[in-house]
Structure 1
Amino acid sequence: MEIDIATIGGYEEVGRQMTAVRAGDDIVIFDMGLNLSKVLIHDNVETERMHSLDLIDMGAIPDDRVMSDLEGDVQAIVPTHGHLDHIGAISKLAHRYDAPIVASPYTIELVKQQIEGEQKFGVDNDLQKMEAGEMLEIGDSGNVQLEFVNVTHSIIDAINPVVHTPEGAIVYGLDKRMDHTPVIGDPIDMDRFREIGREGNGVLAYIEDCTNAGRKGRTPSESTARGHLKDVMGSIEDYDGGIVATTFSSHIARVSSLVEFAKDMGRQPVLLGRSMEKYSGTAERLGFVDFPDDVGMYGHRKSVDRTFKRIMNEGKENFLPIVTGHQGEPRAMLTRMGRGETPYQLDEGDKVLFSARVIPEPTNEGQRYQSEKLLGMQGARIYDDIHVSGHLREEGHYQMLDALEPQNVIPAHQDMKGFAPYVDLAAKKGYTLGRDLHVTRNGNIINLVE
């Protein structure tokens, strides 16, 4: 069976992920993501109102023209998890393909919301839920199957999809960390990865996220971040002024820890910001988390400002606002607070907790720097980097290569500089650049089996 892999997006940057695997006449697409930094550098860009061609020209979504060079029919579009760099372009590109969107329950719900917000295209692809551990027949040959393997990441319900072919398995390894004690959900299923590496013809190709490949050691568990957060919040428990926290809106495990520890401090947690309301509200509705009844979630600007007024009237010492804006996004809640554009007034000594790390990209770094300076000018004391990454470090990558023993390795989710540490690691494991270690770029096709 002929096997091709089209590396469409995410092979020259962190963001706009998209990869296609052709097995004979059947094609599976993994991810259709947005490069948010390409959007943020433009003022007041509303992607839901823009045409896909304009977004492609901006470098904001994948240029999928290379798909016309693959001979076969797309049988499934498979987003691995609900982050925008993996699902943000589905509303712009999925309608081009007569194929269902297949994803885990939380991810499919986020995709549904993404499609409902689209104002340019009518996206009516079927939405199909599939749980980790399940298998789906792809095409009519009976020789190709799609499997979901449970992984742990900084968003719940993440999976690594596997395409099983007569030539071996193709494992799409974006995005994960090796968490054996997660705060929400099941641990990473390393037993299944090891089985896949030993079954049939083994693993023909492994496509891997290289985000933290240059960092030594292993990525700590989310339970470590939870302990760090508990320590920080316990240290300021007696402070009688304002405490504000921010984290990734999609990081439900972290949000749930913030809510729990706020209650322990005697403060009422309030979730503020559109994305905070979207991700947490969806997670609660689907039963992934059970927040206390008095936890408010407010996304609309007027509702948020009313809540801020209530907090100021009833006393900042009684509340913990959990807000958007950890990357300094211009229109996010925390950034507006720093600019003095909300009814919430920061006073000298008030605490701002960043339970997130700056995404290592110039736009984010610049915005975060500006946000912290504005908060500091109002007297805020900043607690930074209360966080663990959602991506594997060096030893996690080493363990994955040991578990899967892939015949071919394809680094992804980085630029050329970011690939270098992973290439070095793979070379030490016996892989050779240009033979079985394929460093590629957006828009290329790798022919694995002719």
Structure 2
Amino acid sequence: MEIDIATIGGYEEVGRQMTAVRAGDDIVVFDMGLNLSKVLIHDNVETERMHSLDLIDMGAIPDDRVMSDLDGEVQAIVPTHGHLDHIGAISKLAHRYDAPVVATPFTIELIKQQIESEEKFGVGNDLVKMDPGESMEIGNGLDLEFVNVTHSIIDAINPVLHTPEGSIIYGLDKRMDHTPVIGDPIDMDRFAEIAREGEGVLCYIEDCTNAGRKGRTPSEQHARNHVKDVLYSMEDYDGGIVATTFSSQIARVTSLVEFAKDIGRQPVLLGRSMEKYSGTAERLDFVDFPDDLGMFGHRQSVDRTFKRIMNDGKENFLPIVTGHQGEPRAMLTRMGRGETPYQLDEGDKVIFSARVIPEPTNEGQRYQSEQLLGMQGARIYDDVHVSGHLSQEGHYEMLQTLQPHHVVPAHNDLEHLARYIDLAEDQGYELGRDIHASRNGNVISLVE
């Protein structure tokens, strides 16, 4: 069976992930993501109202025109998890393909919301839920399986396409967390079984984000303990405390909510994406928040909440807000610019339970946000966080477990891909033989 891999997006940058695998006459597309930094660099861009071709020209979504070079029919679109760099282009591109979107329940719910807000295209693709650990027949002689992994969002999987030539594992994004705060640990036993089945692992496509970082990525339990330590150290502080994290990091939000209660403060979630992700997780029973936890996304309701906090006393509340990357329209950035009723005073604490995404736009915006907060007297607690991506020891363990015949580094620029190539070569792989460095728009032929 002929096997091709089209590296469509995410092979030259962080964001807009999209990869297609052709096995015989059947094609499976993994991820359709957005490069948010290409949007944020423009003022007042609303992607819901934009045409896909304009977004492609901006570098915001994958240029999927290379799909015309693949001789087959798309059987499924398979996003790995609900981050925008993996699902943010589905509402712009999925309607071009007569194929269902297959994903875990939480991811499907986020995709539904994205499709409902789309104003330019009608997306009629079937949305099919499949849980981690399940599989389905797809195309002619192929099986699609979801292996549970742990990441900085709940309900994440690594999809596996089983072909007569061996398995193809799409390894974006994960960390090796054996003690997650929410959900099950990474299923390393199943990865090991796949490596021993049939023809083994034909190809492993892997995220290179932390390939240059030594050691292993800590568990989310480590971040939970860090959050606890920081908040407990502020128990006697009688001024304002504000926290920000990834809205999709439900485990981290849960920890912030719990420890805010422990130190006698009322947590409140503020910002559109904070309300969206936490509200969805609660509706689907992934988390059980306190009954009195407020979630407010619309600008007017957020400002009303800020006024109530100021009237009742900042010392009684912990606002958990959007804006960890310094996004221009996010809550924390507005607070830094003095555009909300919340008044920051000298000595107030701002906790960044998030790391800057290593991309120039994000780094610049985060720097500006911290400077604005500091000018108002806020004291910054930085990097109360653990990454959602494998570091070097995790990469070594995956390669040793899977023993793939071919490796394709992905999810970053060429500098980060080079770090993964060095790591893989330490394990006996060779660039140009069984390591395939690629760029957006290329096609790799594995079996001819």
Residue type of the alignment partner of 1:247: T
Match of 1:72 in 2: 72
1:362-411 Cα distance to aligned partner (Å, 9 max, x none): 10111111101110111111100000000000000000001100000000
What corresponds to 1:269 in structure 2?
A: 267
- Structure 2: stretches of 5+ with no match in the other structure: none
Name the residue aligned to 2:107: 107
> Displacement of 1:421 after TM fit?
1.2
Could you tell me which of 144, 147, 168 is aligned with 2:142?
A: 144
Residue identity in the other structure for 1:112: K
Cα deviation code 1:252-278 (max 9, x no counterpart): 000000000000011110000000000
Task: Find the counterpart in structure 1 of residue 238 from structure 2.
Answer: 240
Query: How many angstroms apart in 2 are the aligned matches of 1:333 and 1:69?
Result: 44
Distance, in Å, in 1 between the alignment partners of 2:158 and 2:91 is: 22
Q: Quick one: which of 213, 221, 225 aligns to 1:227?
A: 225
Shift of 1:426: 0.6
Partner of 1:90: 90
Structure 2 residue aligned with 1:291: 289
Report the counterpart of residue 412 of structure 2 in structure 1: 414
Aligned partners of 2:271 and 2:231: how far apart in 1?
A: 22
**Cα offset, 1:100, TM superposition:** 0.3
For 1:327 and 1:432, locate their aligned partners in 2 and report how far apart those are by CA, in whole Å: 37
Deviations 1:194-252 (A, max 9, x none): 11111100000000000000000000000000001100111111101100000000000
Amino-acid identity (%): 85
Deviation at 1:420, TM superposition (A): 1.2
Counterpart of 2:172?
Answer: 174
Residue 428 of structure 1: CA displacement? 1.0
| Cα separation, 2, equivalents of 1:356 and 1:427 | 32
Matches within 5 A, 1:281-430: 281-430=279-428
Q: Distance in 2 between matches of 1:297 and 1:262?
A: 15
Encode CA deviations 1:79-134: one digit per residue, 9 max, x unaligned: 00000000000000000000000000000000010111100000010000000110
Deviations 1:315-361 (A, max 9, x none): 10110000000000000000000000000000111100000001111
Mark the runs of 5 or more structure 1 residues left unpaired by the alignment.
Answer: none
Please tell me whether residue 6 in structure 1 is matched to residue 2 in structure 2: no
Q: Which of 431, 434, 437 is the equivalent residue of 1:436? A: 434
In the other structure, the counterpart of 1:52 is: 52
Q: Which runs of 4+ in 1 moved over 6 A?
A: none
Amino acid at match of 1:400: M
Q: Normalised by the size of structure 1, how large is the TM-score?
A: 0.99
Q: For this pair of structures, how many residues does the alignment match? A: 448
- Counterpart residue type for residue 59 of structure 1: G
RMSD: 0.5
Alpha-carbon distance in structure 1 between the residues aligned to 2:78 and 2:22: 14
- Find the aligned partners of 2:284 and 2:216 in 1 and give their Cα distance: 31
SS in structure 2 of the partner of residue 283 of structure 1: helix
Instruction: Give me the whole-angstrom Cα distance separating, in 2, the residues matched to 1:106 and 1:22.
Output: 27
TM-score w.r.t. length of structure 2: 1.00
Provide the rounded CA distance (Å) in 1 between the counterparts of 2:377 and 2:78.
Answer: 46
SS in 1 for 2:232: helix
Out of 155, 159, 162, the position equivalent to 2:160 is: 162
Structure 1: distance between partners of 2:86 and 2:235: 38
What do the CA deviations read for 1:3-29 (whole angstroms, capped 9, x no partner)?
111000000111000000111111100
Q: Partners in 2 of 1:76 and 1:304 — Cα distance?
A: 39
- Structure 1 residue identity aligned to 2:276: K
What does 1:203-214 align with in structure 2 at a 5 Å threshold? Answer: 203-214=201-212
What's the secondary structure of 1:269's corresponding residue? strand
**3-state DSSP class of the match of 1:4?**
strand
